[in-house]
Chain A
Amino acid sequence: MEAERSKKSLFYLLLEDIMSRLSVTWKEVKKAKVSYAFIAPFCLIFIIFYLVPVLVSIGLSFTYYNILEAPRFIGWQNYINLFFADDVFLIAVKNTFLFAVITGPLGYFAALMIAWMINEIKNRFIRALMTLAFYAPTISGQAFIIWKFIFSSDGYGLVNGWLMKLGITYEPILWFEDAGYIQPILIIVVLWMSMGTGFLSFIAGLQNVDNSLYEAGYIDGVRNRFQELWYITLPSMKPQLMFGAVMTITSSFAIHDQLAALAGFPSVDYQAHTVVSHLIDYGSIRFEMGYASSIATLLFFTMILCNKLVQRLIRKVGD
């Protein structure tokens, strides 16, 4: 009896607590009207075109939907088909991971190292010039098409021309038609474009490391610039490292445009077929929206998961 009463009163206490909290929050919400007015326009657009689409995509991934008929719920069927009935998807997954695993970390560390090396230069003008040189490929739009000329499949292509002139080969190599060459060339091109926004973030982060930290480091026995990098510079720019990682991971899982432009879509033996290619194939060409949504959903969770994992790693830098 006693126990029951105290249980009951506990429940009421809890309820009362929640109610009072809610009323406090409600008061705060009312008080913050102006703040909500400030964020409303952005949040509205963000919700409609970024948040809702993710939810819709998850929802549609459990349906058969061809735009003409209403979506029909089919449970996990799309996912089952992806993994057990769609060989091309498995190739796409393999390629995506190959590209992401090579170009992602390599691009990230290259961007970091290059940003660091640029920061070691004393002359301000040369620093700016170098930054431009490395960042320009990222922002030059369709300029990667030039690689089609460099690795052109006839004798007029730069590499073929040179190889033939030097007598290394006697006929042009079919770079983008030979399954053995496609991926290595594409990896070079992707790396060429991979400096990205993260690189700028690194450049900025490096410039703003507190100088007194370095002086303290010299007293503590930091002798060369590599020790300086690991013990002082990197730990004090962790936030930029995180930002750069997010940018790199997101873009390396989304590789498709450059590959399709250079190697064709579909490419020989699906050598340049990534998960995004597969998504575009089913979403924009075959109009199997349910199936395409399941690809998009998998991609979404892979990106988020990878980001979370890498952030956990970065927290350990310099420890």
Chain B
Amino acid sequence: MAAMKKKRKGVKPSHSLLGNFFNIFILVLLGLFMVMPLVLAVSNSLKPLEELFVFPPRLFVRNPTLENFHDVFVLLSESWIPFSRYIFNTVFITVIGTLGHLIIASMCAYALAKHRFPGRDLIFAVIVMALMFAGQVTAIPNYLIMSRIGWLDSYMALIVPAIGKPMGLFLMKQFMEQIPDSLLEAARIDGAGEARIFLTIAMPQVKPAWLTLMIFSFQDLWNMQGSNFIYSEELKTMPYALSQIAAGGISRAGATAAVTVIMMIVPISIFVINQSSIVETMASSGIKE
């Protein structure tokens, strides 16, 4: 790593200065296209009503105000179910689902990466295959299965499938391959049991991966509306409640903009804080033949 950083400073024979300039120039242009809508979302959320409906429309807010955010909270405090309940629901399923996913997927990943047993390669192949189809394919049978088990209209319907997400297992397994076998072997000779080796040796070695797993799982659960499985109002999630505000259409344009900003700020900040460990995990994400 240190050697790599040093090399970065040196001039590569393949790189011209003009090329470097063009590279940055194009990236900045494209980057502006990517960021502009998000900036616009923030700017809109700060616009007072008269600025939202002005011709010609303005990109940036002139007289920023928190009116819209205030409106959101007023709307929410008037709702039939207190808004704190929606927040609790989302936080609850996010925390339990994410922790459960981390623990259970890591256990499985550890055995798949570091143990040899019959069926191992087949199991992993099936899990890689599961990355290749989207959730919509299984939506109907999932509904039928949930109703058979009696999990409809309960947290379980949202939490349990999220715990078994193949993506997290895949990333963790690929990352765990890097743990040197000698480390585990030494512990085995010292008489440590597998559970102990997993907890005290394997897991501390893969901290960037568990951060990544938690963040991906967090993002799924945080944005989950779950209205397919949940019909009791008091069990519904925050994204669902917020989407109901947004469904108010033009009369709630300001509040909708505020809601959008509230929903996007959390995942983006979490990504910013953990960017380096996510990138480190993704380095081992490749699918080998």
Query: Which residues of A are interface residues toward B (Cβ below 8 A)?
Result: 25, 28-29, 31-32, 34-36, 38-39, 41-46, 48-54, 56-57, 60, 114, 117-118, 120-122, 128, 130-137, 139-147, 149-150, 155-158, 161-162, 164-165, 192, 197, 200-201, 203-205, 207-208, 211, 214, 218, 222-225, 227-228, 237-243, 246-247, 249-251, 253-254, 256, 276, 279-280, 283-284, 289, 292-293, 296, 299-300, 303-304, 307, 311, 315
Contact = CB atoms under 8 A, between A and B. Distances in A.
Contact of B282 (A45, A142, A203): A203
Interface in B139-154: 139-142, 144-145
B264 A143 contact: yes
Interface residues of B, number: 103
Interface stretch (B10-18, B67-75, B81-89, B179-187): B10-18
Contacts of B41: 143, 146
A29 to B, nearest CB: 6
Contacts of A307: 132
B77 to A, nearest CB: 22
Contacts, number: 311
B136 A136 contact: no
B233 interface: no
Given A132-B272, A296-B138, A46 B130 contact: yes
A284 B142 CA distance: 12
A293 B140 contact: yes
A227 B275 CA distance: 30
B60 to A, nearest CB: 12
B48 interface: no
Nearest to B31: A133
B180 to A, nearest CB: 18
B268 interface: yes
Given A122-B8, A201-B282, A284 B14 contact: no
Quick one: which of B31, B56, B110, B246 has the most chain A CB within 10 A?
A: B56
Contact of A38 (B115, B137, B219): B115
Contacts of B166: 46, 50
A246 B228 contact: no
26 contacts: A38-B108, A39-B108, A42-B108, A45-B161, A46-B127, A49-B164, A52-B141, A52-B145, A53-B137, A53-B141, A128-B275, A131-B275, A134-B31, A141-B267, A142-B223, A142-B259, A145-B246, A146-B38, A155-B55, A155-B56, A156-B54, A192-B33, A200-B282, A239-B286, A242-B287, A279-B136
